[in-house]
Chain A
Amino acid sequence: MQKTKFVKPEGLKNTRHNYCPGCGHGIVHRIIAEIVDELNIREKTIGVAPVGCAVFAYDYWNFDVTEAPHGRPPAIATGIKRALPENIVFTYQGDGDLAAIGMAEIVHAANRSENISVIFVNNTVYGMTSGQMAPTTLVGQKTLTTPYGRELNREGYPIKMCELLSVLDGTKYVARGTVISPKNVLLTKSYIKKSFLNQINNKGFSIVEILSMCPTGLEMGSVETLSWIEKDLIKQFPLGVIKDV
């Protein structure tokens, strides 16, 4: 007897991704699609895609998705959720989108405890525009715009968004995972699932940060990227559930 071991979740369209080899977006997209299947919410989910590499997410997920101007997904998600409170609304944002240009929108959506889920993909670099410094770039890390490494006295510190948001009374669930290993993928999936369940249970604002891989933007090999995240990035951005109330 043949047995199917691996199928595409219904939450994903049967199409090719444009993502580079070694990129983490495909994994995070799939995790979300699996959760959407498991919670049986595909027909009422509305995603908000960012500006950045994941701008094409509407071509990959098999549910309603809108684009958003750079940094504004939390405001757009607010407009959707307030109009359709019964639907499941999430934003998918990168480090530039969420922690640089969109800082005001994310802080205020969190502070209002908008009943949405935020999926925050942190790969410490602007991937789509070819590898500039992000707000989360590590001190000393070389990028296109920090060719000699990020300097404290010039660019300041990498922003810890989860820690920053967790002090707001409006945030109900804050967790940070990574997708560098199967074990971590499963753990991250449990965090994201919790953020969706919180929304279903009307608990308020949830955010899951995911330390992810951008070998192209980081100018590293795929394997090297994984070990860099494990050795260096996690030190700056510790993994785990930061807040759950």
Chain B
Amino acid sequence: MKKLIQGNIALCEGTIDGGLDAYYAYPITPQNEISAYFAKVLPKKNKVFLQAESEIAAINMVFGTALTGKRAMTTSSSPGISLMQETISYLCACELPCVIVNVMRGGPGLGNISGSQQDYFQSTRGGGHGDYYHIVLAPYNVKEIYEFAKESFLLAEKYRNPVMIIFDGYLGQTMEVMDTNSSQGKLNVKIGKDIDKSWILDGSKNRPPRKIRSLLMDEGELEQHNWKLKKKYDEIKRSEVRSEFYDIEGAEVCIVAFGMSARVGLDAMYKLRKEGIKVALFRPITLFPFPYKQISEVSKNIKKFLVVEMNLGQMVEDVKLSVLEDGEVYFYGRPGGGLVTSLEIIENIKKILNQ
């Protein structure tokens, strides 16, 4: 069925179709449509909806439901996600699957309520304390928001790890036509064996008691746990990288962008191609794991890269780590809620090609 739907609502429908059991959140713009929608819909489906007293409480409620093996989610925007970071570290340490959504707004501080991509570092580096990572999915249109949301719990449970979906406030507010029937499940999450639930707390009936903890005080115990987590992160890096490459024969330059920037970048790319300028575009879909190898591969043939972001330059650092030594990496970005335009990208591409 085709329907006109807003990004934030597509997220709601995706998670419901993906088996959401409980939603906890605290109000913050630009993602308030999500809780308004869930408040109406979830109680009717006998699912949990609860407005928490803070983002800190919300993420801890997610922790509580996640440890019972049920599918819990919270959504927020940048400052709220900052508040959640301590517990996100706990969730990763305790290996509790859940879904966290950041509809990014302009920062730093209270910033503004329009969209940005300024939380790239926070999302991809483990924004809290300690060595940890969570999978980061970056949809670039409404349909992808729906699809990623739908498969996010499966991905979280596969690795017993939180999954974060990030997109900017503009995309959250965008209305587009979405065809749910044609939805193939773009992530195509593959589950090798049955999902292990032998760790959940649901009362110690007919089994020994279990504990969920991240405090590991015995000699060497914590180090060992960190190595175990690393093994998991390495497996995620091997198996879960997703990206898209809009190649063209004889491409002289490649735009690299995710989310909304990629969308604007595609517009610039097609316009440039009409002018006869051969431009490719690479779009990371998973920001963790980052497609280092894929970009490296691209840089065998294309030597110039323009990274476009709605920030002061964050993902550009990962692109620089990816391209081969003779590659040149340029950056164009607008921070603090500024939306890059295709004209600005076109201008920058031409400048690069004239250098």
CB-nearest residue of chain A relative to B64? A79
Contacts of B53 in A (CB 8 A): 104-105, 107-108
Q: Mark A60-80, 1 if CB is under 8 A from B, else 0.
A: 011111111100100111111
Chain B nearest CB: distance from A31 CB in Å? 18
CB-nearest residue of chain A relative to B53? A108
Query: Judging by beta carbons under 8 Å apart, are A87 and B202 in contact?
Result: yes
Q: How large is the interface on A (under 10, 10 to 19, 20 to 34, 35 or more residues)?
A: 35 or more
- The DSSP consensus for interface residues of chain A is helix
How far does the alpha carbon of A62 sit from the alpha carbon of B207 in the complex, in Å?
A: 11
Query: Is A83 located at the chain interface by the 8 A CB criterion?
Result: yes
How far does the alpha carbon of A68 sit from the alpha carbon of B72 in the complex, in Å?
A: 17
Chain A nearest CB: distance from B171 CB in Å? 29
- B21, B87, B211: the one contacting A83 at CB < 8 Å is B21
Query: Is A239 located at the chain interface by the 8 A CB criterion?
Result: no
Query: Judging by beta carbons under 8 Å apart, are A75 and B204 in contact?
Result: no
Query: Is B187 located at the chain interface by the 8 A CB criterion?
Result: no
Query: Is B65 located at the chain interface by the 8 A CB criterion?
Result: yes
How far does the alpha carbon of A64 sit from the alpha carbon of B199 in the complex, in Å?
A: 10
Chain B nearest CB: distance from A223 CB in Å? 31
Query: Judging by beta carbons under 8 Å apart, are B24 and A79 in contact?
Result: yes
- A69, A76, A78, A104: the one contacting B50 at CB < 8 Å is A78
Query: Judging by beta carbons under 8 Å apart, are A43 and B70 in contact?
Result: no
Q: Mark B20-64, 1 if CB is under 8 A from A, else 0.
A: 011010000000000000000000000010101110111011111
Query: Judging by beta carbons under 8 Å apart, are B215 and A75 in contact?
Result: no
Query: Judging by beta carbons under 8 Å apart, are B214 and A67 in contact?
Result: yes
Query: Is A82 located at the chain interface by the 8 A CB criterion?
Result: yes
Contacts of A58 in B (CB 8 A): 211-213
Using CB atoms and an 8 Å cutoff, list the residues of chain A in contact with chain B: 13, 42-46, 48, 55-56, 58-59, 61-69, 72, 75-84, 87, 104-105, 107-108
Closest 4 CB pairs of A and B: A79-B64, A75-B60, A58-B211, A44-B203
Using CB atoms and an 8 Å cutoff, list the residues of chain B in contact with chain A: 21-22, 24, 48, 50, 52-54, 56-58, 60-68, 70, 72, 86-87, 90, 94, 201-206, 209-215
A-B contact pairs, 16 of them (CB 8 A): A43-B206, A45-B203, A63-B204, A64-B209, A66-B64, A67-B90, A67-B214, A75-B58, A78-B50, A79-B61, A80-B65, A82-B50, A82-B64, A83-B64, A87-B203, A105-B53
